[in-house]
Structure formats: C-alpha cells, structure tokens
C-alpha cells in the first residue's frame, strides 16, 4: 500500500472543533443567502442586467415556436421564454413573486421577464476569448464544443446528445480532470527551467511547492476568466485544500480528508448541495481513493508497462463503478460509451494539443474529422433505474473503503448492469 503520513487531526476533539467551525460557516453562508434573497424579494419587480449564454429554439405542443433563453447575471443565472432569439447583453425586468429560496440558493431559476433593452457594454475577457475561438471554426457545433471545453459555456441539445452517446460528457465539462491536466502541462514545461534557476539563485526553495503555488495562482486567474463557473470553482477549492494539506505534510489520499474537504466546500458554497456536477465530481474522486487504497501499490508504479496497465484498469474500474448513478440520472446507453475508456487516455493528448492550436490560430484544423466522430455514435437503448437501486448504491459505498471485495463487487455490478440492458 501507499505510505502513510501525518494525519489531519491528532484527536477527536480537533475533529469536533473543525465540525463546529464548518457548522458556523454553513450558518453564516445560509444566513447571508437568505438575507440576499429577502432583499431580492422585497421588490416584486427586479431590474437586472444580463448576458445571454444560450438561446435555443423550441416548439410547443400547439406547434408554435419560441426561444428558451439562458441569461447570466451578476449573482445568478436565469432562464426565460421569448418570441425572438436573444443575443448579447440586456437590461430587463423580472418578476420575483414565484421565486423560492431554494431556487435562489441554487443560483439558477426560471423567471418571468419583460421590457428587454439591448445594452452596449465592453466585452469581457471571456467573451473576447469566445469570439476568438469562434473565428477559427466554420462549424457552429465545433466552436460550441471548444467554447464549452475552454470556457464552460452551455451546449445545445444536439451536441449534448452527441457527447452523451459517446459517454464523454465529463470530458467536455470543465472539472478537476482538466485542472489536473493543466497542472501537469505547466509542471512539465516549467520544471526544468525552474530547476536551473533554483540551482543558481535560490537553492533553498522547494521546487514542488513553488510550481504548485504558481499553478494555483494561474488556476485562480482562469477561474476569474470563467466568471467563477461552479464546475471549476468546486474543483479549484478542493485543489487548494489539497495543496494546503500537502504543504503541511498531510497525506491527501485519505477518505477522512476527502469527506472533510467536501464538508468544507458545502459549507462555503451550500448551492453545491443541489449540484449534480458536484455529486459526480466528489464521487469520481472517491473512487480514485478506493482504487489507490486497494490497488495502489507503489512498487507497481515504477515500470512504464505497469503504469499503463494501471491506467487502463483504473478507467475500467471507474467506468463500471459509476454506471449506476450515471444511468439513474442519464438514461441513454450504447456500446459506444465503452470507448470512454480509451478516449479518456486520448483526451490527455487532445486537450493540451487543442489549446496550443487555438493559441496559434489553427483551432479548426481537425473540425471535419471531429464532427464526423461526434455524430457517429447513436443511442441504442435507455436504462431507467428505480430510486431504491440508487439509494442502495450510495449506502454500499462505505464498505468499498474498507473491503477490496466490496469495491470489486460494486464495480462488477455496474458493469453487469450495463451489459444486461445492452445485450
């Protein structure tokens, strides 16, 4: 097994103090949110300024066409209907009458809107980057894909169905996986130059600490560009906590540390409690810890072939283990989704390569082949799982932390369920 290190807490009293601190943070966060909600609801009509994230044409049961518009405002996102497509920035009025505190806490809700007035505002850095990306692609789908990949912008139903059929939605949505890749890229390119500088000018510095700190600072700037998108924010907070733990000599890959990180994140941002993305993000990290605990023999991670084998088996393990919650929330299933195992490895090369190509103005060089690939996969069936299976899955998770057989059994069950519905 991997070597142990200093624990996060020395005794139970420290754990109690930490939990009490988290409770106080949660109370403060909820109190502030409710105060903001009360102030927002005090006026039956609110004047807001928003930027359009996405405007999709829909058809009603009566055959009439309308547009479903997604707006990003300063403190929340809203969606509303209109007869015409909305593009750009607007000043508008919304009714606060039917907005509930729970919806407000989620920072995303439906609101009746009217009195739209176009605004002329300076483009944000994110909008300028998005425009630069679109200029490199002739296909709207391709530019939509890369804007989602780099800037976490919403995607259309057409593209969403395509990535779902391949089982690669988690590769498109910005998460901790992308943060880890960005960290690795930066570390790879700057490790040797920094080592040379360190040797000549400041040998007393810790290279790993300094480079990690710089990456976190750059990650914070990227988070700012993304306008503190929730999917990247939760990953960044957990990365920051992990960095603090490592800098204090505390072993990160402990379940207790993971649970405490999740608890702290939820206390700081209660909206994540209702975030499906946060659930899958935490669950993915949990299964990484499970694999490391039961299969992470350090001596097996020194030979290239053994590392490659572990990378393959790890992806198979996580794919199968995640099947039950994935298909509980997302029904489409096909054998094409098995390709996510090799595609996850391919993405490690594709992601930094696509960044480099867009930086040099050649982002659209693979569009023709990429679009053919995306729309090749088709949904073969739908898997609809009852609530009790999902509940049993979550109740079984603690056993996988302790018992290797339970971890293997859970992953095997997910794989068997997948094959049962498709064969």
Condensed to tens digits (0 to 9), the pLDDT of residues 360-373 reads 999 999 999 999 99
pTM over 0.85: no
- Residue 2: predicted pLDDT: 44
Tell whether the model's pLDDT for residue 234 goes beyond 90.
no
- Residue 330: predicted pLDDT: 86
- Reported as a pLDDT band with limits 50, 70 and 90, residue 64 is confident
Tell whether the model's pLDDT for residue 117 goes beyond 60.
yes
- Residue 73: predicted pLDDT: 85
* The pair of three-digit structure tokens given for residue 227, joined into one six-digit string: 């306008």
The per-residue pLDDT for range 256-291, each reduced to its tens digit, is 778 887 888 888 888 888 888 888 888 988 998 899
The per-residue pLDDT for range 283-339, each reduced to its tens digit, is 988 998 899 888 876 555 666 677 777 778 888 999 999 999 999 998 888 888 888
- Residue 394: predicted pLDDT: 94
Query: Hey, which of 56-60, 152-156, 200-204, 351-355 has the most confident mean pLDDT?
Result: 351-355
- Reported as a pLDDT band with limits 50, 70 and 90, residue 1 is very low
Q: How far, CA to CA in Å, does 274 sit from each of 96, 107, 265, 266?
A: 21, 10, 13, 10
Average of per-residue pLDDT values in the chain: 85
Q: Are 347 and 286 in contact (CB under 8 A)?
A: no
Domains and CATH numbers, the chain: 44-121 (2.40.50), 168-422 (no CATH)
Tell whether the model's pLDDT for residue 90 goes beyond 50.
yes
* The pair of three-digit structure tokens given for residue 363, joined into one six-digit string: 């982002």
Tell whether the model's pLDDT for residue 3 goes beyond 60.
no
Full DSSP string of 223-282? HHHTTS-HHHHHHHHHHHHHHHHHHTTB-S--HHHHHHHHHHHHHH-GGGGG-HHHHHHH
Burial, 242: exposed, middle or buried (Cβ in 10 Å; 0-12, 13-18, 19+)? buried
Tell whether the model's pLDDT for residue 247 goes beyond 50.
yes
Tell whether the model's pLDDT for residue 410 goes beyond 90.
yes
Report the residue count for the chain: 423
């Amino acid at each position: 097994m991997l070597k142990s290190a200093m624990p996060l807490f020395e005794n139970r009293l420290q754990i109690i103090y930490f939990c009490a601190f988290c409770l106080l943070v949660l109370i403060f966060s909820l109190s502030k949110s409710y105060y903001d909600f009360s102030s927002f609801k005090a006026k039956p009509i609110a004047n807001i300024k928003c930027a359009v994230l996405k405007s999709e044409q829909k058809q009603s049961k009566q055959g009439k066409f309308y547009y479903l518009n997604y707006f990003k405002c300063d403190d929340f996102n809203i969606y509303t209907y209109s007869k015409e497509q909305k593009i750009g920035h607007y000043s508008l009025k919304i009714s606060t009458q039917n907005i509930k505190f729970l919806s407000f806490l989620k920072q995303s809700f439906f609101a009746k809107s009217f009195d739209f007035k176009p605004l002329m505002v300076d483009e944000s850095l994110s909008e300028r980057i998005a425009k630069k990306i679109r200029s490199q692609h002739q296909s709207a789908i391709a530019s939509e894909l890369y804007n989602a990949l780099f800037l976490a912008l919403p995607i259309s139903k057409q593209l969403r169905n395509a990535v779902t059929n391949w089982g690669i939605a988690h590769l498109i949505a910005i998460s901790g996986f992308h943060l880890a890749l960005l960290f690795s890229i930066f570390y790879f390119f700057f490790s040797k130059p920094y080592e040379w500088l360190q040797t000549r000018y400041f040998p007393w510095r810790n290279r790993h600490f300094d480079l990690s700190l710089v990456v976190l600072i750059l990650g914070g700037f990227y988070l700012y560009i993304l306008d503190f998108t929730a999917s990247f924010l939760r990953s960044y907070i957990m990365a920051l906590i992990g960095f603090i733990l490592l800098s204090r000599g505390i072993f990160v890959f402990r379940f207790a540390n993971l649970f405490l990180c999740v608890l702290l994140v939820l206390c700081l941002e209660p909206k994540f409690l209702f975030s499906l993305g946060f659930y899958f993000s935490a669950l993915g990290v949990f299964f990484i810890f499970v694999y490391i605990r039961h299969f992470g023999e350090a001596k097996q991670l020194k030979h290239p072939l053994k590392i490659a084998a572990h990378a393959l088996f790890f992806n198979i393990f996580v794919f199968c283990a995640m099947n039950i919650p994935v298909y509980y929330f997302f029904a489409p299933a096909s054998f094409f989704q098995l390709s996510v195992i090799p595609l996850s490895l391919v993405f490690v090369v594709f992601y930094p390569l696509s960044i480099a190509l867009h930086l040099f103005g050649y982002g659209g060089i693979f569009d023709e082949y990429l679009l053919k690939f995306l729309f090749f996969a088709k949904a073969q069936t739908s898997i609809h799982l009852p609530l009790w299976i999902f509940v049993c899955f979550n109740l079984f998770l603690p056993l996988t932390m302790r018992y290797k057989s339970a971890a293997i059994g859970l992953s095997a069950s997910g794989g068997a369920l997948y094959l049962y519905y498709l064969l």
